Amino acid sequence: MSKSAEEVHPTKAFGLAARDSSGVLSPFKFSRRHEIVGVVTEVGCKVKKFKVGDKVGVGCMVGACHSCDNCNNDLENYCPKLIFTYNATYHDGTRTFGGYSDVMVANERYIVLMPENLPLDAAAPLLCAGITVYSPMIYYGLCKPNLHLGVVGLGGLGHVAVKFGKAFGMKVTVISTSPSKEKEATEHLGADSFLISRNSGQMQAAMGTMDGIIDTVSSVHPLLPLIGLLKCNGKLIMVGAPEKPLELPIFPFLSGRKVIAGSLMGGMKETQEMIDFAGKHNITANIEVIPMDYVNTAMERLARADVKYRFVIDVGNTLTIA
């Protein structure tokens, strides 16, 4: 007979969860096993990499098969049996409940050591947004000094891509539909230039100037103008996830031997490399810290894109047990 969650994981936890189709989060007591950071309070007898008191983080995944080619090549994020940190089924049949709670347990393979110089709250979003843009920049060679990088969209992913691009020594251009974001991009985030994607004159003047583009936009948008910005052999990397298919014109790719590709997060080895690089260059996400009782309002604001650029919940100081 299978064991209950309480028998498998006797540690009691308290947090917030959405337990019906409304999506509203409410107090939730459970037995357990997002981007989550904190301090190690206890380690298992076989743990080798971490000790009590370490500042650590857990990203979007907490498990995989550990036997496929992807897992064997430090690409757990592409494992067909990938287990997400939230709302997934763990190896033992229990649910993964994410990080909106007072405690969390994870396998050491899926934990990263946080740099001492980075504040935990502002570094936490790097475990998703950071690795999502860092991984394709490394893999596709968009990380070399003096290359020209385009960043489409200046949201949670885009603003971090700008910071990594500048840390790599690249020329960075932000491409956006919102003219109001130009000052933020150039004066606050350090982008070298700004293009309004709906301004045909600006886009035409920048044609054929970029070595690569990271497209972070998750709404339906035209790709043809972006393809035109690429140099010969340029790369358009998609990391956003539009709900509807995008139109993909083929001829512009043929005429410049250009590449379109996609990327999803990164493996755990690369995630540790990313956070170490962030520590070396003092890269953090721009955040708004909120208390637990504000979380449903924050969800409503997220739906309106009303945040610069990530909400971070202060669980440790604001979670009260009902």
Above 90 in pLDDT, residue 99?
no
In percent, how much of the chain has pLDDT > 70? 90
State residue 39's pLDDT score: 92
Measured between its terminal Cα atoms, the distance across the chain in Å is 33
Nearest residue to 154 via CA among 313, 305, 312, 311: 305
Band (10; pLDDT cuts 50, 70, 90) = very low
Each residue's pLDDT tens digit, 210-243: 999 999 999 999 999 999 999 999 999 999 999 9
State residue 103's pLDDT score: 83
- Could you give phi then psi for residue 316, rounded to 5 degrees? -60, -35
E strands, the chain, are 12-18, 25-31, 36-39, 55-58, 61-63, 83-84, 86-89, 95-97, 112-113, 148-152, 171-176, 193-196, 210-215, 230-238, 259-262, 287-290, 310-313
Each residue's pLDDT tens digit, 145-184: 999 999 999 999 999 999 999 999 999 999 999 999 999 9
Above 80 in pLDDT, residue 86?
yes
Q: How many C-beta neighbours within 10 Å does residue 55 have? A: 17
Report CA-CA distances (Å) from 282 to 68, 121, 167, 274, 277: 35, 14, 9, 12, 8
Lowest mean pLDDT among 18-27, 50-59, 71-80, 251-260: 18-27
Q: For each of the domains in the chain, give its residue range(s) and CATH number, in order of start.
A: 5-127 (3.90.180.10), 129-262 (3.40.50.720)
**Higher per-residue pLDDT: 135 or 17:** 135
Contact (Cβ atoms closer than 8 angstroms) between residue 300 and residue 95: no
Above 80 in pLDDT, residue 2?
no
Write out the H or E segment, with its range, that includes residue 295.
Answer: helix 295-303
Chain center to CA of 302: 15
Band (94; pLDDT cuts 50, 70, 90) = confident
Residue 299: partners with Cβ closer than 8 Å, 6 or more residues away: 23, 25
In percent, how much of the chain has pLDDT > 90? 73
pTM of full prediction above 0.85: yes
Average pLDDT along the chain: 90
Tell me the C-alpha distance between 138 and 267, whole Å: 12
Beta bridge partners of 203: none
The burial class, CB within 10 Å (0-12 / 13-18 / 19+), for 32 is buried
Band (14; pLDDT cuts 50, 70, 90) = low
Report CA-CA distances (Å) from 91 to 63, 82, 110: 8, 10, 14
Note if the bond before 309 is cis, omega within 30 degrees. Answer: yes
Each residue's pLDDT tens digit, 174-198: 999 999 999 999 999 999 999 999 9
Tell me the C-alpha distance between 170 and 147, whole Å: 5
State residue 33's pLDDT score: 38
Band (320; pLDDT cuts 50, 70, 90) = confident
